[in-house]
Amino acid sequence: MTPASPFGERLAAVFAAYGRLCVGIDPHAGLLDRWGLPDSADGAREFGLRVVEAASGRAGIVKPQAAFFERHGAAGYLALERVLQEARDADLLVIGDIKRGDIGSTMAAYAEPWLKPGSTLEVDAITATPYLGLGSLEDTLRTAEAAGKGVFVLAATSNPEATAIQRAVLQQSSRAGSSIGGAIVAGVSAWNAGRPDVSGAAFGAAGVVIGATVDLAAAGIDRDVEPPRPGLPVLAPGFGEQGASVADARAIFGGYSGGVIVSESRSILRSGPDGIAETIMRHADEAVIAGA
């Protein structure tokens, strides 16, 4: 395969063509039952294919949650491979929500099947965990960049269990005095800015995950910054079912709002197989960030 165009370019093109909505593909047991599907690999595959079909032409981004396929073992991975293939064929931008994090050759092995062109698990971007140090993801970031892929690094998530860690203040670091979440955002932005030939890029290959229900100031992230150059992609779960409103996105994310991806799962998926296409269309129309 020929190298893909840079991830940031493709993200900008999706924003221009379809807007900011990212549709989650989360076939957990409750949703499978609601959709009249068995809690099995076959059910997960059928669920995923129906979401892809509904999203095609209505939204530009989908985000399969690998865990809900992995729980069905090898058959679940086969189901996921089929869903990913259909999503690629539909020309959707696919974010693999895998949240891997490790060091050295182990992290490289985790990332390879998702970032390698031609792999059956190939996606356009992955989520990654930086809690063995942001430097532990350096090789993954370089691998993604070389393949035209993206990496979204967890920075400030909405779950309460993460608050104590993500808001803890660094003691020994070049960013000592910053919160862990704030340092991750700054470090990822700096990585993008340090890449060659990025002066005209709309967005970098590296992004962050920041929950839309997070108080950025309390998390030690300065929302009043000048927009980073290149733009910082921000995968933002928490809209819809979790309570955040797209109308407030500019106020929530401030200088980072230009890169916000509006991630919604349950608020769309609960509409069921008969209502999902119309729901995606409506939510895509609503996913407009004023001033971004």
Q: So which residues are the catalytic ones?
A: 99
What is the pairing mode between strands 125-128 and 93-100? parallel
* C-alpha distance from residue 187 to each of 183, 206, 223 (Å): 6, 10, 15
Nearest to 101 by CA among 147, 67, 136: 136
End-to-end CA distance of the chain: 34
